[in-house]
Amino acid sequence: MAGRDAEELLAEFGSPLMVFLPDRVEDNVRSVSEAFGSRFPDVSVHYAVKCCYYDPVVRAALRAEAGIEVMSNLELQIAELTGCAPERLVINGLGRDEAYVQRGVRAAGSLHVLDTWDDFTAVARGATNAQQMVDVAVRVVPQMPGDLDNAMPLDSKLGNDAGSGEFWRLCDAVAEHPWLTLRGLHGHQFTRASSPADYGRFLAGLAAVACEAVTRKNLRFDVIDIGGGFDTRSKLEANGTPLSAFADVAAKELAAIPYPFRLIVEPGRYVAADAAVGLTRVRARKERKGFTWQVVDLATNTLIPVPGAEYIPISVRSSEGEVKTSRLGDGTCAPSVICNDISLPETVAGTPLAILHCGAYTTVFAHIWGPRPPVVLALRDNEDPEVLTDPRAFSEAARAVYGYELDLGPDHSP
């Protein structure tokens, strides 16, 4: 990784470790820009910061000329502190509090995505009080099949049904408000999109909404925001489905919109997931039901078992030992699984493993519970590792949250 040996890192920093690779973040952002930028004349990529907050990750996305998409006051502050220009912000989220609204209104030139009437009321009030024009997009759920692969449920809390009239009423309210400008149409319906065909069916519905806006209200959106929701880059490419395949269907389906627009894409997992590797050691083994449980110390308090999560273990050492079907778990007294049924060389206690696809929706959800938290590093080519979170920080957090003085240092045993 970035010129450093995995076992040397474990020896230096202890186990478990999370290693973020900012150079990969930059490359992933640029691959999004290249895929869509070669098919659309005006494209803006915005990193969905909710998937990973670490400063080197966010700044790497900004270096690759991404904007940022946020969903809370906390995330908006991260965007500001890392230097994202206000006009490169997409401000999202439901049930916004006053502090979030006011901070967002002050970010002149940002795009506010509205999804509920209460948020319309709050943003309209904030814009009026500040005497500040605010650009708005309205989130829609277009008419589309309900069985698309890895699509959000059609009855989720997100979006407004185009067919129900609620979406059009919200558009009217924005258009009629003196301090709001209706700029965009926002649609985001996937969490791990891996089928370009299904993605195209969603985009066909989104294009139909944009076309209906012209015939129904003579309304043209300056911005079409298709959200993100793409699966991990390395996984898509390994399966023969590069992001260019999604860009192809986007170009095909959105060509139905009869006017020019700026396309916004909001990747999160695609940018961050394969830009971090977990390093861990096997602490125990157990033969059961025809496979081997490998109990490791990088645990589910960081590798959160969210639906669809795929953490892939690989051997750090070259081995000629017997390959066995393994399952990966942690040391907790819970039936959680990190990875099911994967072939790994035979291990002993202390064997190091690397775990792939650890960069998205892991550390942002991590909590001090049960197993030892990992030391977190950022590692760039030809540079010394940067420690992002160390045992002292976790111990201080434990004292602040639980009131205990705890030693949460890493383990250096082989």
Residue 257 sits in the same domain as residue 312? no
Query: Among 224, 152, 220, which Cα is nearest to 187's?
Result: 224
Q: Let me know whether 179 and 260 are in one domain.
A: yes
Percent of the chain with pLDDT over 70: 99
What's the Rg (C-alpha) of the chain? 23
Q: Clarify whether residues 186 and 216 are in a common domain.
A: yes
Amino acid making up residue 259:
Y
- Alpha-carbon gap, residue 384 to 301, rounded angstroms: 27
Distance CA(412)–CA(414), nearest Å, equals: 6
Residue at 286: amino acid letter: K
User: Which one, of 246, 212, 245, 207, lies nearest residue 224 by Cα?
Assistant: 207
35 lies in some domain: no
Last-in-domain residue among 233, 265, 297: 265
Residue 138, Cα to own-chain centre: how many angstroms? 21
> Do 228 and 339 fall into the same domain?
no
Question: Which of 265, 289, 311 lies at the terminal end of a domain, its last residue?
Answer: 265
Rounded to whole angstroms, the Cα distance separating 282 from 304 reads 18
pLDDT of res. 259: 97
Give yes or no: residues 133 and 237 share one domain.
yes
How far apart (Å, rounded) are the C-alpha atoms in residues 301 and 334?
12
232 with 304, same domain: the answer is: no
Query: In the structure, what pLDDT confidence band is assigned to residue 152 with cuts at 50, 70 and 90?
Result: confident
Percent helix, strand and coil across the chain, each rounded to 5?
35, 25, 40
Kindly state the DSSP code that residue 365 receives in the 8-state scheme.
T
Single out the residue in 214, 243, 265 at which a domain terminates.
265
> Do residues 4 and 385 lie in contact, with contact meaning Cβ atoms separated by under 8 Å?
yes
The whole-number average pLDDT for the span 242-253 is: 98
Residue 52, in any domain of the structure: no
| Total domains, the chain | 2
What token pair was written down for 24? 């990969």
Q: Same structural domain for residues 108 and 202?
A: yes
Residues 119 and 220 in one domain: yes
In CATH, what number is assigned to the domain containing residue 330?
Answer: 2.40.37.10
What predicted TM-score, i.e. pTM, was given to this entire model?
0.95
Considering the chain, what is the average pLDDT of its residues? 94
Band (375; pLDDT cuts 50, 70, 90): very high
Domain that holds residue 339: 6-19+273-402
Clarify whether residues 98 and 118 are in a common domain.
Answer: yes
